[in-house]
Structure 1
Amino acid sequence: MNEAKTGEPKAGEAKASEDWTARQRDVLDAALRLMVEEGDNLTMAGVARRASCSKETLYKWFGDRDGLLTATVQWQASKVRVVPVDPGKVDLASLAESLEGYARDWLKVIASDTSIALNRVAVSHAGSGKDNLGAIVLENGRFALAKRLKPVLDAGKKAGHLAFEDAETAFRTFFGLVGRDVQIRLLLGDWPGLTEAAIAEDAARATRQFLALYGARKEQ
């Protein structure tokens, strides 16, 4: 089967949605759907059949199974958008909007059946030596998301709206306020009622709580 040969990122290089062609995104979605259905039985041959492409194309784009798994995690993580802020002009309202949007997107992503399936497989493989999925999920999921949000936190600090000594600690606090026990409940098969309205409410609450904890105290 012929695939487009121009504008393609090399295996392992892409980390954001705009780096993938529409065809490659379709393939990654097919891989995620297969993981929902088959768990850790995901194979390059199975993805090729589901996505109607050749195994040779998959190896060309993603390198190997670990490369494909990396790309699927990157594709999921890219759905958590970070609204950029101007470090020199950010006001409290735009800072809160950026944090709240991030929180909404993250809750939507972790509540999807594809993310639940991906994380369940990663947890089941942790320490088993089967593959590197646990490390892949951490590096391209949690750690990558932190790197993308920290510039927003630093901009808020520079503008005098936030006060913290360490951006990683501040990020972990925000991450915890947003996630609470939601992800572990999802992984264990419980549905914590994450409707669109509930997600919006949770994101707004977490943002308010974070700003209450880390908001800079203005001297009277």
Structure 2
Amino acid sequence: MNDTATHSQGEALSERQQAVLDAVLALMVEQGDQLTMTAVARRASCSKETLYKWFGDRDGLLTATVQWQASKVRADNYDRQALDAATLRKSLRDFAENWLSVITSQTSIALNRAAIGHAASGKSNLGGIVLANGRFAIGERLKPVLEAGRAAGLLDFDDAETAFRTFFGLVGRDVQIRLLLGDALASGKAEIQRDAARATDQFLALHGRQGAVPKA
């Protein structure tokens, strides 16, 4: 179920385009939302004409950047017809680890801070771009896993979106808001793995069919 990163016109990103988007993220960490096409072209060693050709306008570049960052959060490959308790638990835990690694990175913190500022000021549609290509797109990647778990008799829930929001809340807790407000949380690999495993166990305690998903 791995997603291929695409830019706003739906084409697969080349390595050169990925490098441009990494340059955008690096600039956002350094400069916040004071991002210009000129600065991106300079950092990425390409022309502004190339940026406009690849991504359209500034919003198109920002959309592609958010999609590129969000594409790092994905569900594992699995056989829907042979999904068992161990595979389901691993898929959920790996997704949680993946997501926590992304949202605790300096690039995501900078991107989300900029999106919040833009949403409050009405300067651009960056807030909507982050919602559509971040949170909402990520939900559409995990909900098929949840639905497959229900179809296999491993999970019990009425609505996939509600179940996803429960999982999302258990994984994220207050981590993202604290980081956005400048709290220096420990978010190394060991802490992320621990938190992801705990969130998965909590979710399965709530939605796992009795006896179908044994405790880890």
* Matched AA of 1:13: Q
For 1:57-206, list aligned pairs within 5 A.
Answer: 57-206=50-199
8 Å CA contact retained: 1:62, 1:71: yes
* Partners of 1:191 and 1:180 in 2: CA distance: 15
* Partners of 2:165 and 2:9 in 1: CA distance: 27
2:39 to 46, 58, 73: 46
Structure 2 gap segments, 5+ residues each:
none
Deviation at 1:125, TM superposition (A): 1.1
Deviation at 1:216, TM superposition (A): 1.2
Deviation at 1:11, TM superposition (A): 5.5
The size of the alignment, in residue pairs, is 208
* Cα deviations by residue, 1:143-186 (Å, 9 ceiling, x for unpaired): 00000111100000000000000000000000000000000000
Structure 1 gap segments, 5+ residues each:
1-8
* Partners of 2:107 and 2:162 in 1: CA distance: 29
The alpha-carbon distance between structure 1 residues 199 and 11, as it changes in their structure 2 partners (threshold 3 A), is closer
Report the equivalent of 1:217.
Answer: 210
* Partners of 2:9 and 2:54 in 1: CA distance: 10
Report the equivalent of 1:5.
Answer: none
Report the equivalent of 1:12.
Answer: 8
Report the equivalent of 1:27.
Answer: 20
Runs of 4+ in 1 over 3 A off after TM superposition: none
* Partners of 1:45 and 1:82 in 2: CA distance: 36
8 Å CA contact retained: 1:163, 1:215: yes
Let me know the Cα RMSD of the aligned residues: 1.6
* Partners of 1:209 and 1:179 in 2: CA distance: 13
8 Å CA contact retained: 1:10, 1:62: no
* Partners of 1:10 and 1:169 in 2: CA distance: 28
* Partners of 1:34 and 1:190 in 2: CA distance: 22
TM-score by length of 1: 0.91
Moved more, 159-168 or 86-95: 86-95
8 Å CA contact retained: 1:11, 1:60: no
* Partners of 1:161 and 1:120 in 2: CA distance: 38
